[in-house]
Each structure stands twice: as C-alpha cells, then as structure tokens.
C-alpha cells in the first residue's frame, strides 16, 4: 500500500506551479499586495500597495514566505458564494442533463441557495479565482461536480451539515491540482511512473490546504477531498483504503468525480455501464441515487455508435489480457514470497473476469461476442460502452500495479511489466 505522509508530502504555500498561476493571473486581473510580504527570515519582498505582476514569480519562488501568499493579496471581483450560485444557475439553464438532475433531486433551486451560503474564506475564494482564471476547465469540472454532488446529497437525504460539507468538498476536490505542473495534466500526455506520483499526491495537497482554509466544522469536507480517489475495493489512491476506511462523503465524491466527465460529454451509455460494473469500487447507495437522478434523462442523449474497429480492438485487448493472465498468474503465484504481496492483483484480475461474466460474455471466447450482436443496434451500443469501460478498468489496473509494486526481483518485475504492457496496449 502506498503511504504518503500528510505532514511532509506537500508544501502548498511554496508550490512554484501555484505561484506561477497567481502571477500569471495578474496579466488579466489587478492583484494588490494588501500587507507587506516577508520571507521567513524577515526580508521584505513586496510592500503593501504594490501591484503583483508576472515578473514577481522568480522573487516569490526563491524565498520561503512568512505567511501564505493568499493572505497577503487582494483581487478585484474574486469568486464569491453569490457568484457561484449565479454560475450554477446558468449551467443548469444551458445543460439539459444538469437541469434533469437538479429537477430529479426534489428541489431544482436548492443548490443555488446552498452555494450562496457556503462558508468560504477570502483565501479560499482567492484560490478558486486562480482556478477560474488559469485552469478554466478544472474550474468548470469543479462547479459541475458540486451541482451533481448536491443533487446526490438531496436524493440520499443527507443531513443539512453533511450536504454543505459534500458541496464544499466537490467544489474544492481538485484544488490540490493548482500545485501540479499543468504540463502533466495536458490531455493525451503519456506520463512516466515518477510523473504519476505527482498526480497521486493532489488529494493530500487539497486536504492540507482545506484544513487551513475551512472552519473546524467542515473537517469532513477536507477528509472527503483526501479520499475522493479511493475505491471501495482498495484500488484507489493515495492510500489504497477499503470501503470501511473511506469517509462516507468521500465515497459519494468518488462517484461524482468519475461521473461528471461522462455527463459533460453526454455519454449516458458509458455512464450506465460504469454504474453496472462499478459496484466493487463505489458505494452502492450512491450508485442507486445517481441512477434515480438519471431515470428521466432525455432519450435523445445517446452516444454516437463507435466504429466497429474500435469495438473489436477493445474486446481483443480484454481477451489478450485475460489469456495472458492465465500464464502470468500461475507464474507469479508460484514465485517465492510474491503471492501474498501481490494478493491485490489476483483479486483485481478475478474481479475483471467476474465482471465480464456478469455482462453475459464468455471471457474465454470474446472473439465471437461482436458477431452475435452485429445486427442489433441497441446491443452494439451497449457492447461499445462495455468495451470502453473495460479498457478504462485495465488502464486503471496498470497504474495501480505501478503504484503498488515499486520494488520486486527482476523476474517478478519482468512478469509484471508484461502484464502492464498488455493492460495499456492500444
């Protein structure tokens, strides 16, 4: 299990990527130093009244600051609870799925009122403003996640204080990514093993920040952020927690985080498959609530049928992995001292095979599956979504193997690398 010590993993106030984002924001927004900024050794770096600009990046990154940068700056027109409520209303108005979800929650206007009353400190509003200015896509994802999380909270009949904490957690769940090199987050970028470690730490960064920026009554929001990439079967990160160890709000937020992207792309077929196959990884109560919210979604919001070649490639990849595992699993199980440390891998592969069986497919004869449904358009839609979800599951497993097996003897490592290549193959 990968353990990242919370106290020493991150230094949020000194992240050069965050400071670059703040100074970069100054190109379009007036940022004023509202109290003298000192280094930790007492050197004055910037005087009160100065206007921050991009040239201050080097100065601020060369020194450890006496107090957090956010506490020394003011911004004209920062993100505020009232503005969040307004933007949420606009999102709902222009997105049929979000409108359906809000209406199905029982109170379509409740999320606006909840956002308007959030206990956001000036420093947290500043950070959300940085996100809105410098990471617009991340900001949109965060606000949409907040809308979905609140609807789920209503559907699950959470107490008011839990709804508030879940809303806060969803809004801020990726705030730690402001401290990640944006190059690593570029769509389609192939990440090395070391680069992935920088991504795995963002829930910890967010947790540390929110402990500083939220009142004590919102501690569960910070914990939900810490756990939003954990999975009920222990396959998540940063700590590989199981269901009982994950904070209840974190279990809901985990489903929200992965569902938002599919909802944004209106990929309801794929989302339906995620909910069908997601029981080992996500809270069943949250899955049921999301199903209820989507029950009346417009029929027109179906995905375009993927090309036959893409479906064939996905099924072939799955077949190759299952076949390869018959050999590799036996070898790994017989390797001295390896069977127990790699127990998670045997569990994941058994789950993968079981999920294939649950879909009605034969894991030992995937080649004929496509032929059997070729004339049935609805079945082809479902099969395409299944193939896509299984590919996602295999990519996720490849990352987990990399994360949880940092040091092995050469022979075992070679076997694991063969499996990783198969899981990641296009």
Of the residues 75, 93, 114, the one at which a domain ends:
75
Pair 244, 136 in one domain? yes
CA–CA gap between residue 73 and residue 51 (Å, rounded): 9
- The pLDDT tens digits for 398-409 are 999 999 887 778
Specify if 299 maps to a domain.
no
Q: Hey, which of 135-139, 263-267, 313-317, 360-364 has the most confident mean pLDDT?
A: 135-139
Pair 176, 67 in one domain? no
Pair 138, 262 in one domain? yes
Pair 174, 198 in one domain? yes
* Its pTM surpasses 0.85: yes
Q: How many domains does the chain have?
A: 3
Pair 270, 419 in one domain? no
- The pLDDT tens digits for 268-293 are 888 988 998 998 999 999 999 999 99
Q: Which residue has the tokens 């680069």?
A: 195
Greater confidence (350 vs 333) lies with 350
Q: Give yes or no for residue 344 having a pLDDT over 50.
A: yes
Arithmetic mean of pLDDT, 58-80? 91
Burial 25-39 (b: 16+ CB within 10 A, else e): bbeebebebeeebbe
Pair 283, 322 in one domain? no
Arithmetic mean of pLDDT, 306-322? 83
End-to-end CA distance of the chain: 28
Pair 170, 108 in one domain? yes
Instruction: Report the percent of the chain where pLDDT is more than 70.
Output: 91
Specify if 300 maps to a domain.
no
CA 200 to chain centre: 10
Pair 342, 321 in one domain? yes
CA–CA gap between residue 217 and residue 320 (Å, rounded): 50
- The domain of 342 spans 308-424
Of the candidates 205, 197, 236, the residue with the CA atom closest to the CA atom of residue 222 = 205
Of the residues 44, 75, 106, the one at which a domain ends:
75
Of the residues 294, 329, 353, the one at which a domain ends:
294
CA 402 to chain centre: 18
């Amino acid at each position: 299990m990968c353990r990242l010590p919370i106290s020493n993993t991150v230094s949020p106030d000194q992240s050069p990527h965050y400071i670059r984002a703040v100074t970069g924001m100054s190109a379009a927004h007036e940022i004023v130093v509202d109290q003298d900024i000192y280094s930790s050794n007492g050197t004055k770096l910037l005087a009160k009244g100065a206007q921050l600009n991009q040239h201050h990046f080097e100065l601020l990154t060369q020194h450890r600051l006496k107090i957090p940068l956010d506490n020394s700056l003011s911004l004209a027109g920062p993100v505020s609870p009232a503005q969040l409520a307004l933007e949420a209303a606009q999102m709902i108005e222009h997105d049929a799925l979000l409108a359906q979800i809000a209406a199905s929650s029982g109170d379509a206007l409740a999320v606006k009122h909840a956002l308007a009353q959030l206990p956001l400190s000036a420093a947290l509003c500043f950070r959300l403003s940085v996100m809105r200015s410098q990471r617009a896509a991340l900001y949109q994802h965060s606000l949409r996640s907040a809308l979905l999380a609140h609807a789920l909270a209503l559907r699950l009949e959470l107490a008011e204080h839990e709804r508030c904490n879940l809303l806060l957690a969803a809004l801020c769940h990726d705030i730690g990514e402001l401290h990640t090199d944006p190059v690593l987050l570029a769509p389609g970028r192939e990440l090395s093993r070391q680069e992935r470690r920088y991504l795995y730490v963002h829930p910890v960064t967010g947790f540390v920040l929110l402990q500083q920026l939220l009142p004590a009554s919102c501690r569960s929001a910070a914990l939900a952020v810490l756990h939003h990439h954990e999975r009920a079967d222990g396959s998540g990160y940063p700590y590989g927690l199981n269901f009982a160890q994950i904070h209840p709000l974190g279990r809901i937020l985990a489903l929200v985080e992965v569902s938002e992207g599919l909802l944004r792309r209106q990929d309801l077929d794929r989302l339906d498959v995620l909910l069908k196959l997601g029981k080992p990884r996500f809270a069943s109560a949250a899955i049921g609530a999301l199903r209820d919210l989507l029950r009346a979604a417009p029929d027109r919001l179906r995905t375009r049928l993927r090309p036959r070649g893409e479906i064939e490639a996905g099924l072939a990849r799955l077949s190759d992995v299952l076949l390869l595992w018959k050999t590799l699993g036996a070898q790994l199980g017989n390797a001295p001292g390896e069977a127990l440390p790699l127990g998670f891998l045997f569990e994941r592969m058994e789950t993968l095979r079981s999920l294939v069986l649950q879909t009605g497919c034969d894991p030992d004869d995937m080649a004929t599956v496509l032929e059997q449904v070729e004339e049935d358009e609805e079945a082809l839609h479902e099969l395409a979504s299944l193939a896509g979800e299984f590919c996602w599951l295999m990519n996720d497993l490849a990352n987990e193997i990399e994360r949880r097996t940092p040091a092995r003897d050469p022979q075992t490592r070679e076997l694991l690398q063969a499996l990783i290549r198969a899981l990641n193959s296009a």
